[in-house]
Structure 1
């Protein structure tokens, strides 16, 4: 028999089959709850169980602090109901014409953006449109059934094409192929298989509060898609992008970000480096990128934040922005980039 899950405050209900996670059941019912990694290595899908029994799995104890666990908070991508549940979670509205599906794609080009970042352009099937919200991601389905996730670095699939930014992970099965270091390098015209679009990381069109975009490394990709979407719509909400890296080469599209300051009213770009050396000639901001936000805006109570990058950066920003700067928890939107090594560590 299935279990009934009720989502507060919206009052929406959906069934969950035995063994199914709350997130899986919600998505199957067409209800989009916030999510990113889907494997328990980030806290984007955090929600609170008001009543009912469930198996939380080991991940919440690693990710959430003791106080939140005691209040009934858990990770909905891991929680498996064993009775009817009532949960508190924010529902994300998805456009009606966005459909998640599997499809073959052809590699059109591979362009180095930095020594360890490659832009891949994919040709999608032309039979039907591939629609997504700027900020969402897709997954490559590899031959062994494993998956690799990458955000679209464009606001729409012009000419049935999408672009991705892939960072080389030393020893990584997929990225080694992308960078020609594997036994079977990926080459133009190769056919790969994907599923998408996925994720709940996209702008809320009804939230008019000033936006803080926060990115580290290739977390810039979905932020680029969001900002290009704003340009296309003529969206003039005040927005500031804080993009962090270790050395100048990590800010591989800095010229593009600087150009947005001229073309998007109310937009500001703040690059931040954590390990700049004298030889770099860096005269800009230094330190942790989320700390730069707090230095500039110690009161974030009137803002919304979209953060993407390494899990450690995303979780530090969530903790400090909410705990120290007064940001509403519901105003923090995140997509943590988890690698295959991160997922293995979460399962250990």
Structure 2
């Protein structure tokens, strides 16, 4: 049987079919719910159950702890209704008119950005364009039904190509191909744009951008978009890597700092080598969230956009909340590495 869901505070309504997940049903019926990984790990789709019950199967999703569940929170990407629901969730109005497409594309260019990062530029057919919001991602569709998710590293105004930064993952089905076998003009299939990691452009608060590794990619798209429209307040990017080679866009960083006339600040954060100058910017040593808090011990007046591996996201969420950042001003995309079939795809 189908279950009825009422969404507060927007008062939207939709139905969920037998064994269908709440997020899947909401997206299918045109509601713009927040989400990221869609596998229960990142927590982006978290909302509150006001009435009714849901099931996750035999185990609670990793992105939902016991305290959150006891407080009535749920991860809607994994939650299957057991009866009619009334839920509270922040809907994303800006995504409502974005059309998700499945399209063919060709590899227009391929270049190494770092020893473990390759950039792919994908060319759509001449009759197609993909409308997206800066920060969203797309899926590469693989044979056998597998898919791999990668953030778009370019801004919507610069959409001649779709630009991806692919990190080398040992045993990664697509990353191995991207590094070792993929040639220019190779044909791929994609689905996108996906995800609810994008800018709140109505906010007038200063923004901090926090990226670990290739978590820089969606932040670059956001900053390119903001720089194109004109920065009207300070924006500070913190980019973490093991060493200077992991800060793989030095020319872009210098260009943005010059172009933004003091409104763009950059701090490289190196975790495995002593602090040094990186691309002309003084670096600091240690963890990303510590570097952010050393510069901004009170985060109550900021919006924070963060992308990177799950341990980085988890540590920063707790530390930033303790520094006064409200939950609804933290926007994040948790990157789940995907490897060969013996592991869960991310």
TM bucket by the smaller chain? Answer: over 0.9
1:105-254 matches, cutoff 5 A: 105-156=105-156, 158=158, 160-180=160-180, 185-254=181-250
Shift of 1:67: 1.9
Q: Is the 8 A contact 1:154 1:225 kept in 2?
A: yes
Equivalents in 1 of 2:339, 2:58: separation in Å?
17
Q: Which residue of 2 aligns with 1:298?
A: 297
Of 125-134 and 102-111, the range deviating more from structure 2:
125-134
Show CA shifts across 1:2-31 (max 9, x none). Answer: 212122222221111111111111111211
Q: C-alpha distance in 2, partners of 1:71/1:83? A: 19
CA distance in 2, matches of 1:342, 1:173: 5
Please state how far the C-alpha of 1:219 moved relative to its aligned partner: 0.5
- Indicate yes or no: 2:271 matched with 1:274: yes
> For residue 311 of structure 1, what is the aligned residue in structure 2?
310
Does the residue aligned with 1:122 lie in a helix, a strand or coil? strand
Residue 139 of structure 1 and its aligned partner are, at CA, apart by 0.2
Q: Distance in 1 between matches of 2:30 and 2:121?
A: 29
Cα RMSD of the aligned pairs, angstroms, is 2.1
Aligned-partner Cα distance in 2 for 1:5–1:90: 15
Give the Cα separation in 2 of the matches to 1:190 and 1:253: 25
Structure 1 CA distance for aligned equivalents of residues 30 and 330 of structure 2: 23
Q: Does the residue aligned with 1:144 lie in a helix, a strand or coil?
A: helix
Q: Over residues 65-97 of structure 1, what are the superposed CA-to-partner deviations in whole Å (9 max), with x where a residue is unaligned?
A: 332121011211000112111111111123555
Equivalent residues of 1:41, 1:342 under 8 A apart: no
TM-score normalised over the length of structure 1: 0.92
Task: Note the C-alpha offset of 1:105.
Answer: 0.5
Checking the alignment, whether the CA contact within 8 Å between 1:43 and 1:63 is kept in structure 2 is yes
Contact 2:107 2:122 in 1 (8 A): yes
Q: In the TM superposition, what whole-angstrom CA distance separates every residue of 1:239-295 from its partner, at most 9, and x where no partner exists?
A: 1111001111011013312332221252211110010159x7776201001111111
Q: Which residue of 2 aligns with 1:12?
A: 12
Q: TM-score, normalised by structure 2?
A: 0.93
Structure 2, unpaired ranges of 5+: none
Contact 1:310 1:337 in 2 (8 A): yes
Cα shift at 1:131: 0.7
| Alignment: residue pair count | 341
Question: Does the Cα contact within 8 Å between 2:171 and 2:339 map onto a contact in 1?
Answer: no
